[in-house]
Copies of this chain bind each other. A is one copy, B any other.
Amino acid sequence: MQPTVEDVAREAGVSRQTVSNVLNAPERVRPETRERVEAAIAKLGYRPNRLAQGLRASTSRMIGYRIEPVHPHALGSIHDRFLHALADAGRAEDHHLLLYTADDAQGEVDGALALHRAGAIDALVLYGLHAGDPRPPALLANAVPFAAFGRTGDDDHPWVDVDNAAGTAAATRHLTEAGHRRIAFAGYPPGSAVGDRRAEGWRDTLAALGLPPGPDVRGEDSLAVGAEIGARLLERPDPPTAVVAATDTLAAGLLRTVRARGARLAVVGFDDTPTAAALDLSSVRQPIEAAGHAIIAALLNPPPPDGPPAARLLPPELIVRGSSTTP
């Protein structure tokens, strides 16, 4: 039983017209009254009907996006490419991006609800979706349309992701084809979906080829940790001859140790950040531009309402450079 405008009016002790004003012309309502009506709307879980939403949605032609702070340790971001792809795909459909900031996931959701209620955005793009992510249920409950980059594993909304396991599988195959038989993995601590899939691609590929997995070393995603992992691998009695790293940051740290010691250890990173080219580092490149376009397409040209939401898993591409080919 959906609550109605009458229910909200009764709960707040105001007229239907006042509720309508709060929804459509809040500046006409005194702040105390407005707060009372908004509290009633929240308490009852009232939602304006879809037709009215559709009408409003057709006006802003804006897609909301929360821009996150740049991680201080990130090695050149692929985020610029993603934003440009979203803006470019939106342009082709006569939509623009509305950027906003927030302190955390809750702030991101609150910002989206406020913007959507005000008619400033029609829909939202979420970045870096992960298992247990609190954002999808909050947006679904409030009928804010959205599409995500990444997935929770249990997604009742459009998503686009990159096949992380396929990326490390390609890196591992490339190393075995160059003759390596002891291939290690360096990744972040178990428990992150992206990190686990990257480890899986390495492990499964070796298993399929009948090769034992090399050492599997995990740590925080930083240059210092990568350098330390490099030292630990090289100091083993039976050191690996190659390593697949879950990020370019770990790979760059590994390379620093390898090159400082003049050691032989082939390294492949992940993300093909601009730093990879500067370091002559082989790396797995995510199809970020294609992902951005697919996300906008999923939002603006959704599949029929009785089918499942749009879902796209895009293959990454291995970029081979000197770090995995020079002996």
Contact = CB atoms under 8 A, between A and B. Distances in A.
Nearest to A251: B278
Q: Say which size band chain A's interface belongs to.
A: 35 or more
Interface stretch (A11-19, A68-76, A167-175, A213-221): A68-76
Q: How many copies of this chain are found per oligomer? A: 2
Contacts of A24: none
Nearest to A259: B259
Contact of A96 (B77, B80, B98, B249): B98
Interface string A78-110: 011101101110010000111111000000000
Contact of A278 (B69, B99, B101, B278): B278
A183 interface: no
A67 B91 contact: no
A74 B80 CA distance: 11
A277 interface: yes
Contacts of A229: none
Contacts of A73: 277
Given A81-B70, A275-B278, A99 B75 contact: no
Contacts of A80: 70, 77, 79-80
Interface of A: 62, 67-70, 73-77, 79-81, 83-84, 86-88, 91, 96-101, 115, 120, 223, 249, 252, 256, 259, 273-275, 277-280
